[in-house]
Every structure is written in structure tokens, then in C-alpha cells.
Amino acid sequence: MKTKLIEIAENYTAELLMDAVLEQNPGRACITCSFQAEDMVLLDFVRRRVADIPVLFLDTGYHFSETYAYRDRMAAAWNLNLINLLPAISVTEQERSFGRLFTLDSTRCCQIRKVEPLMSTLENFDVWFTGLRREQSSTRAHLKKIEQHQLPSGKQILKVSPLADWKWSNVLHYTEEQRIERIPLYEQGYLSIGCEPCTSLPATGGDARSGRWAGKKLECGIHTFTGRNG
């Protein structure tokens, strides 16, 4: 049934796809959430179905203060089962050992502070919901709504992106219709919000993620490190 669902997933709306996935995979699902607008839409959908679903937040130690405040506010308001994933070393320890790694080697910084904590935690789940959208960048243009991924350990996990075909206008409409507060940074012109040292306003005429890592890369690695099998 999983194979069949992967094949027909593109024909499903976001909510119908989540219903089908959860029905076939009870009890072992999680959602990664950066608390950006897309993730809040997806989280609103999922929490109405699984109130206590584990909400994984990659706590790098470098997020904007506005992001941390918003995370805490929404976690309390929605009574989320929030799990803050911490790297093996603190920001202080990392900078003492390697300097300002986010400037010197951003790929290694992301590996330590995002990829490794997430890959380790995903070992506990069979389904991984994400708020990825094709419109966000060229690296996500061919994203499938369901993909079978292999973690570094060899474990197979179903990666589900129900909002893959949503436009930014759809995201805005839903948050406004449901009166979901958004991180105040959007009001300053940010369209993709990550760690503060590596996030700037998007380039003129660029896609939403053009302001990430000063345009030197578009992905931190958590969506490219696993092996895609379908």
C-alpha cells in the first residue's frame, strides 16, 4: 500500500494525503518545524489529527530571538509536544574549537547543528512530515509529495511534504483565514528564516531562499543528506 500511495500521492490534497498516510502508518510519525509560515500551516493540519505528534525543532543556538519567542508562544498556545533537538556541542564549545564556523565552513556548521541531531532523532520514526514547497527554490522544484528516504544508518523512512504544490499565496491565505500569527520577521521582508547569521533579505527578483547563506547555497543538508529511493 505504501508503494501505491507514493505513486498516486500527487492526486491528493494536503489534508487527504495526511489522512491516508496516518491511516497506513499509525503511531510513528513526527513533523519537523522551523516555525516558518509553511510549517505552521502543516502543523495546524497535523495537530488536528494527532494532537500529541512530536514536533521537532532544530535548536541550533543561532536562531533569531524573534523565532525563539514565537516558538515558545505557539508551543504554549497550541499545547505542542515540542522536542528541541540540540547539537552534541554548544555554540560556545563550537566557537572555541572552530571559530565562527557559520562563516568559515557553513556546511560543517549545518552538519553539526542540524543534520546530525535530526538524523539521529529520525531513527525513532517511520513517517516524517515536512513543510517543503516546490516554489521555494530550484533545489526543491522537483520535490515529490511522498518520498522514501534512507537515513545514514540504512533505516527507511517515509518523507511526506503535503504542501509541495502550494504557492506562497496559498500559505498566506490559510494563515490569515485561520488567524495564525506569523513570525514578525516576515513584516521586515524576510521570506525564508533560518539561523540569524546566515539569513538576510531575499535578493531582488530571487526566490524565497535566495537570502540564505549569502546566496552561496540553498540547503542546509537536512533535506539532501538522506538517500532518496522513490
CA pair distance 58, 167, nearest whole angstrom: 25
Q: Does residue 157 lie within any of the structural domains?
A: yes
215: in domain: no
| Tally of structural domains, the chain | 1
Examine the residue annotation and report whether 195 is marked as an active-site residue of this protein: no
Output the nine-digit C-alpha cell for 29. Answer: 510519525
DSSP characters over 4-45:
HHHHHGGGS-HHHHHHHHHHHSTT-EEEE---SHHHHHHHHH
Q: What pLDDT score does 218 carry?
A: 52
Per-residue pLDDT of the chain (230 residues; tens, 9 = 90+): 455 777 788 889 999 999 999 998 887 999 999 999 999 999 999 999 999 999 999 999 999 999 999 999 999 999 999 999 999 999 999 999 999 988 888 888 889 999 999 999 999 999 999 999 998 767 677 889 999 889 989 999 999 999 999 999 999 999 999 999 999 999 998 888 888 888 888 776 666 666 665 556 555 555 544 444 44
- Between vectors from CA 195 to CA 169 and to CA 40, what angle results, nearest 5°? 35
Residue 37 counted as domain residue: yes
Q: What is the DSSP letter of 212?
A: B
Which cell numbers hold the place of 227?
538517500
Total-model pTM: 0.87
Q: Write down the pLDDT at residue 181.
A: 95
Give the C-alpha separation, 150 to 111, whole Å.
Answer: 17
Residue whose grid cell is 500529541: 52
| Position 146 in a domain | yes
Q: 20 burial class (0-12, 13-18, 19+ CB within 10 angstroms)?
A: middle
Strand order from edge to edge, sheet including 81-85: 81-85, 54-58, 29-32, 127-129, 156-160, 146-150, 227-228
CATH code for position 19: 3.40.50.620
Q: Which residue in 30, 110, 195, 220 is the catalytic one?
A: 220
Measure the CA–CA gap between 134 and 24, rounded to whole angstroms: 25
In-domain check, residue 148: yes
Q: Is 162 inside a domain boundary?
A: yes
First and final C-alpha spacing in the chain: 14
d(CA 16, CA 94): 43
Separation CA 34–CA 63 (nearest Å): 10
Range of the domain at 71: 2-187
- Domain presence at residue 20: yes
